Amino acid sequence: MSLIVQKFGGSSVANAERVFNVADIITSTYKEGNNVIVVVSAQGDTTDDLIEKAKEINPNASKREMDMLLATGEQISISLLAMAIEKLGFPVVSLTGWQAGMKTDSNYSNSRIRKIDAERVLLELDKRKIVIVAGFQGINRYDDITTLGRGGSDTSAVALAAACHADLCEIYTDVDGVYTTDPRIVPNAKKLDEISYDEMLELASLGANVLHNRSVEMAKKYNVNLCVRSSLTRAEGTVVKEAVKVEGMLVRGVTKDNDVARISLCGIEDTPGKAFRIFSLLAKKSINVDIILQSIGRENKKDISFTVAQSHIDEALKVIEDSKDVIGYENVSYTTKVSKVSIVGAGMVTNPGVAAKMFEALYEAQINIHMIATSEIKVSVLIDEGTEAKAVKAIHDKFELA
């Protein structure tokens, strides 16, 4: 008997018909003799709608209260799905994140799972019940409800798979698998049969929301058998695993991220310790910094620019402005009218010229590059907001990924 975790995203359970479609996938798996743990997201646009509702009342609501509200979306899905499975005549139980033992830290709205006390889940499986768990949510040490960040249900699923030693974790969504780029932007994007954890982690972190980046991090850490597939077509999906063949495929995928803002500090004194000051102040506030660019000093002054998520811009500017004397700079400027486009591929390490080819594609599309960042398996550029779709298409064509 195998243990299979199946996760269904919001569009897969958007209405009654979809709920029954999903119930059919689950009960078929169960009938084959497997134990099944199911993780579900909130239906359709429920989470966005709840955020709008909150804004009507208080645009500056505390993160704790936001988590209390947003977690309700998943609670609707688990109960409705359990009712559908009951109707089909199968034993089932729905559990909230906390009933399933999902223990997180207290970083409201973006919590990390600390551990899972899976006794209840395992007990229900022993009774041969289908166990349906609310994704995206957990509980902290004060018994408060927390959420894992947008897209976090994927992480709930992989964490449960790891904690319960599942044989397989299937992420069902509204596309057939992981593509060379978002198929909604580039219709001739190609589905990948497999992708390595490292490549998928970069793609997810750089904006491919098909998987939550922490879910991939966790799958790699605990060696979870992970696949992404469609709940609608049920076609063979994409397997995410340790190592895959790289020959002939330098670039595995292209991705974009609009949730980017650039901050520039100009006229910083050109002495040791400045970068340390700036970035340690930001780190203390848990503000993630991505691309960093420092100019060569001239006349004893230098400039440092960096990018953060748009949701962090106000907090980051406050830290910088409050510490003007400590850091010592002449002025600070920022813009949110930028986007990041990246290429990812394990084959890049051993092949020169990949970045040049990406820049050539951007040049041919007449797109100006503001900042560049590279690692062994990715190249990212910061460009003007509004040009990212054109950039993704141009790069995708250049590397002949279709």
Region of 146-154, 166-174, 258-266, 308-316 interacting with ligand ASP (CB under 6 A): 146-154
Site string for ligand ADP, 188-227 (x = CB under 6 A): --------------------xxx-----------------
Taking Cα atoms as reference points, which of 239, 246, 220, 207 lies closest to residue 348?
A: 246
3-state secondary structure of 256: strand
CB 19 within 8 Å of CB 80: yes
| Residue 10 found at the interface with ligand ASP (CB under 6 A) | yes
135 interface partner picked from Mg ion, ligand ASP, ligand ADP, none, CB below 5 to 8 A per type: ligand ASP
| Residue 136 found at the interface with ligand ASP (CB under 6 A) | yes
Sign of the alpha-carbon dihedral angle for 342, 278, 275, 334: positive
C-alpha–C-alpha distance, residues 368 and 280, integer Å: 31
| Residue 329 found at the interface with ligand ADP (CB under 6 A) | no
260 interface partner picked from ligand ADP, ligand ASP, Mg ion, none, CB below 5 to 8 A per type: none
Q: Which of 26, 44, 73, 252 binds ligand ASP (CB under 6 A)?
A: 73
Question: What residues numbered 37-66 form the site for ligand ADP, per CB under 6 A?
Answer: 41
Region of 41-49, 200-208, 249-257, 383-391 interacting with ligand ASP (CB under 6 A): 41-49
Helix runs in 32-172, H state only:
46-57, 63-87, 119-126, 153-163
Sort strands 92-95 and 130-134 into parallel, antiparallel or unpaired: parallel
CB 148 within 8 Å of CB 104: yes
The residue among 11 and 111 lying less far from ligand ADP, judged by its C-beta, is 11
Residue nearest to ligand ADP (CB): 9
C-alpha–C-alpha distance, residues 170 and 192, integer Å: 16
| Residue 138 found at the interface with ligand ASP (CB under 6 A) | no
Q: Which of 6, 21, 47, 96 binds ligand ASP (CB under 6 A)?
A: 47
The residue among 320 and 377 lying less far from ligand ADP, judged by its C-beta, is 377
The residue among 156 and 305 lying less far from ligand ADP, judged by its C-beta, is 156
| Residue 6 found at the interface with ligand ASP (CB under 6 A) | no
CB 66 within 8 Å of CB 39: no
Q: How many CB atoms lie within 10 A of CB 258?
A: 13
Q: Is 20 left (phi over 0), alpha (psi -120 to 50) or beta?
A: alpha
Least spacing, CB of residue 351 vs ligand ASP, in Å: 35
How far CA 20 is from CA of 83, 85, 189, 218, in Å, comes to 10, 8, 30, 30
Q: How many CB atoms lie within 10 A of CB 68?
A: 17
Residues that bind ligand ASP (CB under 6 A): 9-10, 41-42, 47, 73, 135-136, 150-153
Residues that bind ligand ADP (CB under 6 A): 9-12, 41, 151, 173-175, 178-179, 181-184, 208-210, 253
